[in-house]
Structure 1
């Protein structure tokens, strides 16, 4: 391969990694609290608010249902407002993150729901607050599922980042 092709390949790989890691970090920062909210406010949760749970769940499902390329185009004005441009690698991080947050939230919600309710009941019986249940039971016990869910999210982001070439992101898909 020529030096030019290798340089282009290296730059595209670096841009892909930048986009995937940044949007992955934002997916965890936004998706994990969303998942905790969904679990806590569910009818069987520690703080049951079924209406809020259904509303947030509906929004999460609605965003997840939109194909990424359409979301990419729909978010151009928002991306321009947040980043100052709608083109390039930095601009692609915004729609990637918005697509990844509800995706990771559902995966994290499943992991949090798999925690043994006996542990939660034991902490509550010993006088533990809701925050203590989340901090010392739900998150640590669901950590293996959260990590594997984050891995799946990163793999999905690599695939979605290929479509970011449509807005001049210059990633491997370009």
Structure 2
């Protein structure tokens, strides 16, 4: 049996983990979704080709995605402190989570939009639809199910990133697992935190897939 203090600590860890994951995912999509759309639109075969914009964004996204999250987390500590005034805790962890996840989400969105039948976009162009109208009324609605599937992948990835942040006092279940499980050789705490994280991941994955299936107008 766990004592009340441990139970309270785990409950707070769950709250902090959900807070970090939810806020970071939302902010990362606010940045990553437009980036993914711009990548598709400005590509060589896009509706508004722009080699310079496409190349610059492509390089930035590739560089950001190639850096392991733990290294990235430490590297931008000064930036994190400048934004939120501290580099530890749940709120501080949101900064590197957003910066690391946004390029990943951009690629997911780009891939989802590229799955659209080109004929649908060509039909919209032949009817004189503007690029913005094609994006908002054709690309995003048609890619919505795939984007939602990608969001389930993104949120579980961000959840995993938040757990890694425990190595630098990032808060949440990862921090509990490191400080009270790993450093104190408490296998019980380690197993409990891992089990909770697995359950949370499964819930996010199932809910995301269910929403994606329900929103698919093609079925």
- Give yes or no for contact 2:16–2:172 (8 Å, CA) kept in 1: yes
**1:2 aligns to 2:16 (yes or no):** no
Displacement after TM superposition at 1:51 (Å): 2.4
Distance 1:52 1:169 in 2: 35
Structure 2 match to 1:58: 59
Distance 1:12 1:169 in 2: 11
1:156 aligns with 2:161: no
Q: Which runs of 5+ in 1 are unaligned?
A: none
1:107 corresponds to: 108
Query: 1:116: which partner in 2?
Result: 117
Query: Do the aligned partners of 2:61 and 2:103 also contact (CA within 8 Å) in 1?
Result: yes
State the SS of the aligned residue for 2:174: coil
Shift of 1:173: 1.2
- Deviations along 1:88-112, one digit per CA (max 9) or x if unpaired, are 1111000000011000100110001
Considering only aligned residues, what root-mean-square deviation do their CA atoms show, in Å? Answer: 0.8
Q: In the alignment, does 2:28 pair up with 1:24?
A: no
The structural deviation recorded for 1:50 is 1.6
Cα deviation, residue 54, structure 1: 1.5
Residue in structure 1 matched with residue 146 of structure 2 by the alignment: 145
Q: Is the 8 A contact 2:88 2:171 kept in 1?
A: no
Question: Are positions 1:80 and 2:81 aligned together?
Answer: yes
- TM-score, normalised to structure 1, is 0.97
Which consecutive residues of structure 2, in runs of 5 or more, have no partner in the other structure?
176-219
SS of structure 2 residue aligned to 1:85: coil
Deviations 1:42-75 (A, max 9, x none): 0000111122212111110100000000110111
Tell me how far apart the structure 1 counterparts of residues 47 and 100 of structure 2 sit (CA, whole Å).
28
User: Which is bigger in relative contact order (C-alpha 8 A, separation at least 6)?
Assistant: 1
Q: Secondary structure at the match of 2:147?
A: helix
8 Å contact kept, 1:96–1:161:
yes
- Pair 1:166 & 2:163 matched: no
Asked if structure 1 preserves the Cα contact closer than 8 Å seen for 2:115 and 2:143, the reply is yes
Partners in 2 of 1:127 and 1:16 — Cα distance?
47
Note the C-alpha offset of 1:160: 0.8
How many residues are paired up?
174
List aligned pairs for 1:124-135, cutoff 5 A.
124-135=125-136
Structure index of larger Rg: 2
Aligned to 2:43: 42
